[in-house]
């Protein structure tokens, strides 16, 4: 078995997983924890997850804020918490995306898993690849 791959999950993956049980985002989240990959998290990314996942428009029917926060806390409990001692801002067009990239670089993550890969095009410059959940599942984990 190879080394564990470090990844950072963009908030878009959490939202997609919460909205549908049929997609790659839900499959990816459902696999956690998995010895083949480890999610990395910074305080800034965690704060964004909390802020976005608890918005009423992002919560599935019948899910309240406490349940959504429990989901985010669970993910944080199994993640590698990474301190970020440097800032890359401004590097990408969106400061929230910069925060995700900073976590990836600081933690040595190979990938940012996102539905918005075009927002992370410049991530390759510091050595990080932005890929979709489906791409990660099929290419990195050989799951079909």
What is the spatial distance between Cα 20 and Cα 64, in angstroms, rounded to a whole number?
16
Sign of the alpha-carbon dihedral angle for 116, 121, 126, 131: positive
pLDDT digits 0-9 by tens, 6-64: 999 999 999 999 989 999 999 999 999 999 999 999 999 999 999 999 999 998 888 99
Confidence of residue 2 (pLDDT cuts 50, 70, 90): low
Overall size of the chain counted in residues = 144
Residue 87: predicted pLDDT? 66
pLDDT digits 0-9 by tens, 87-141: 666 677 777 789 999 999 999 999 999 999 999 999 999 999 999 999 999 986 5
Residue 90: predicted pLDDT? 63
- Is the per-residue pLDDT at 82 higher than 90? yes
Residue 52: predicted pLDDT? 94
CATH level 3 topology of 5-140 = Rossmann fold (3.40.50)
What is the spatial distance between Cα 104 and Cα 127, in angstroms, rounded to a whole number?
9
- Is the per-residue pLDDT at 70 higher than 90? yes
For the chain, give the DSSP string: --PPEEEEE-HHHHHHHHH-SSSHHHHHHHT-SBTTEEEEE-HHHHHHHHHHHTSGGGSPTT--HHHHHHHHHHHHHHSEE----S---SSSSSHHHHHHHHHHHHHT-SEEE-S-GGGGGGGGTTT-EEE-HHHIIIIIS---
- Is the per-residue pLDDT at 142 higher than 90? no
Confidence of residue 143 (pLDDT cuts 50, 70, 90): very low
Name the percent of the chain lying above pLDDT 90. 74
């Amino acid at each position: 078995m190879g080394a564990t791959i470090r990844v950072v999950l963009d908030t878009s993956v959490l939202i997609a997983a919460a909205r549908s049980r049929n997609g790659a985002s839900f499959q990816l989240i459902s696999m956690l924890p998995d010895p083949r990959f480890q999610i990395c998290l910074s305080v800034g990314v965690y704060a964004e997850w909390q802020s976005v996942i608890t918005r009423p428009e992002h919560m599935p029917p019948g899910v309240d804020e406490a349940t959504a926060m429990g989901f985010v806390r669970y993910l944080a409990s199994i993640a590698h918490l990474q301190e970020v001692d440097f800032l890359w801002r401004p590097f990408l067009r969106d400061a929230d995306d910069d925060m995700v990239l900073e976590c990836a670089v600081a933690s040595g993550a190979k990938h940012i898993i996102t539905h918005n890969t075009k927002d992370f095009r410049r991530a390759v410059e510091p050595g990080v690849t932005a890929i979709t959940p489906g791409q990660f599942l099929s290419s990195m984990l050989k799951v079909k």
